[in-house]
Chain A
């Protein structure tokens, strides 16, 4: 063992209580940082997963981002028209099958058509507004989590009755409808059909569960009173994070507005940024406070050991070596604190993971935690860096001492 390590360890060991307090400080900082990161990232991931599952990754709708350019605008550069009321166009995506075929050639993922309408559901004399979406059960299971969200019945149940409908579980509860109930569906377009409830789903997002129903595409087209209408293509891509780029390309190629889930949830995603800034600030502050403990013990040791430092320097140890001794002591505390903190952080996460929570807005009744080695690495690294910083100043001061100044004083 080298001389510096030997002396550093001896100093640290001979002050067991102080060392322990400093190590405990760093460990608490590291442990709680890990726990906090685990919780924050865990809940964020959980939330993102729900977001990603609740909506299609990319929704291609029959809208355009800007109103059609008017002849006057095309003819004269100086003309701009605001607040244009567009001509009523025939709704729906033109040639949906051709577009789907073209997209499936390059989009990494699956595409399914759907027909969205707004309708009034009537049961037992009461009316409920709902958004009724026509889906293709064969394709739907590749683009949404709906099949896994079915509580009763399956998507295929839509084929079992003439006009079958699947309701959100909260909607069904509000209406008092059950599997087999016959309800009436009316739309603003004047359609009026009877439908049988064949399934219930639960997405976990209250608003969706309270006001959404699924039917077959052809049923939805009847409700919209337009044969062949497809007004939304839903895309599920393999890598949700690439959705934004893919959406842009789809929009370029088809001319239809296509919205990636990131864009649909822009406000939520930007609130994550704020959350993360808050988290890192708090974690940084915790570790900073912990490093004060390290600074404290290192400067105490350098004061108590002024005489030893003078002896070492008078023997011929140079400034660099003496400085290294005390920086090393700080690093030993930082390292011990980090390792103890890893254990503490892990145990805190395990303990938090056992707590049950009943939250009406969430399905999960356990806290969502992630165990990411990166959190440990970052917290450990920050602990070591701040220990180094905390030890460096007193170490430098100690190393600069002229041995005679102390020896003269001692004599």
Chain B
């Protein structure tokens, strides 16, 4: 949390998200964090601790009830919906726990979706880039397949390829290996690590696998919607003020 605002990609300041309702639910609270360039960050925590919720907020899929999420130093809560969508398209790649590919489209078409939505490349270049991304993840033979014709690991790799479609500087991944066997899981993890080491991107990945988390640069632990300080991570879990 000491990175200067100048080179921070994502910054959260006092972010709170409360789901309104008869009994309001606090998803996350008092989140202060900074994701800088070329970082590999793990978010860990027990099930239901708010990891996904936090990632949605950082990925601009959700809006904080209070506080502010800044992308490259720019506040996002007062953006128009269109501008927020554009920021998401160009700056943030998102990988969901479930692949969330469009079922009627092939792997190639799924990877092309964000490019077509952004419309920055000519169609031929989009096709080439999508094919190149899929090839680099060992999916050369599956380019023309639809999601239901692929295995879970293959789908998740397509999802990672899709998150990189518009070459965003940061990728947010929500338990990308959660539903995979250990071999596929290792494959996807290596791809994410290469994004940081080879392509110089930042990756924020939610995982409940502490071994994987240990192999990342930085770890944050969430308990009951609050971040536990690194120093206390070893054991102490303090009751979160809800």
Contacts and interface: CB of A to CB of B under 8 A. Distances in A.
Interface in A274-325: 307-308, 310-321
Looking at chain A's contact residues, the main secondary structure is: helix
Contacts of A402: 62
B56 to A, nearest CB: 5
Given A311-B102, A404-B56, A316 B88 contact: yes
A312 B100 CA distance: 10
A411 B52 contact: yes
Contacts of A404: 56, 61-62
Given A10-B104, A407-B56, A317 B117 contact: yes
Interface residues of B, number: 29
A14 B82 CA distance: 29
Contact of A308 (B62, B97, B102, B114): B102
Nearest to B17: A404
A320 B66 CA distance: 27
A11 B118 CA distance: 21
Interface in A365-411: 402-404, 407-408, 410-411
Given A316-B117, A319-B81, A10 B61 contact: no
**Which among A307, A311, A321 has the highest number of chain B CB atoms within 10 Å?**
A311
Contact of B85 (A6, A308, A311, A317): A317
B97 A411 contact: yes
B113 A3 contact: yes
Contacts of B100: 307, 310-311, 314, 407
Contacts of A403: 61
B40 interface: no
Given A10-B104, A410-B98, A315 B56 contact: no
Size bracket of the A interface? 20 to 34
A307 to B, nearest CB: 8
Nearest to A320: B82
Contacts of B103: 308
Contacts of B109: 6
Given A10-B104, A10-B105, A411-B52, A318 B82 contact: yes
A410 B56 CA distance: 14
Interface in B131-165: 162
Interface in A61-91: none
Nearest to A321: B117
B127 to A, nearest CB: 13
Contacts of B88: 314-316
Contacts of A11: 104
Contact of A318 (B56, B85, B113): B85
A46 B62 CA distance: 67
Contacts of B53: 408
B63 to A, nearest CB: 9
A3 B62 contact: no
A318 B104 contact: no
B58 interface: no
B85 to A, nearest CB: 5
B173 interface: no
A315 B89 contact: yes
A307 B147 CA distance: 15
A407 B114 contact: no
B208 to A, nearest CB: 13
B116 A3 contact: yes
Interface of B: 52-53, 56, 59, 61-62, 81-82, 85-86, 88-89, 94, 96-98, 100-105, 109, 113-114, 116-118, 162
For the complex of A and B, list the 3 residue pairs with the smallest distance between their C-beta atoms, beginning with the closest: A316-B89, A3-B116, A316-B88
11 contacts: A2-B116, A311-B101, A315-B114, A316-B114, A317-B117, A318-B85, A407-B56, A407-B96, A408-B52, A410-B98, A411-B97
Given A311-B101, A315-B88, A411-B52, 7 more contacts: A2-B116, A3-B113, A11-B104, A308-B103, A315-B114, A316-B85, A407-B100
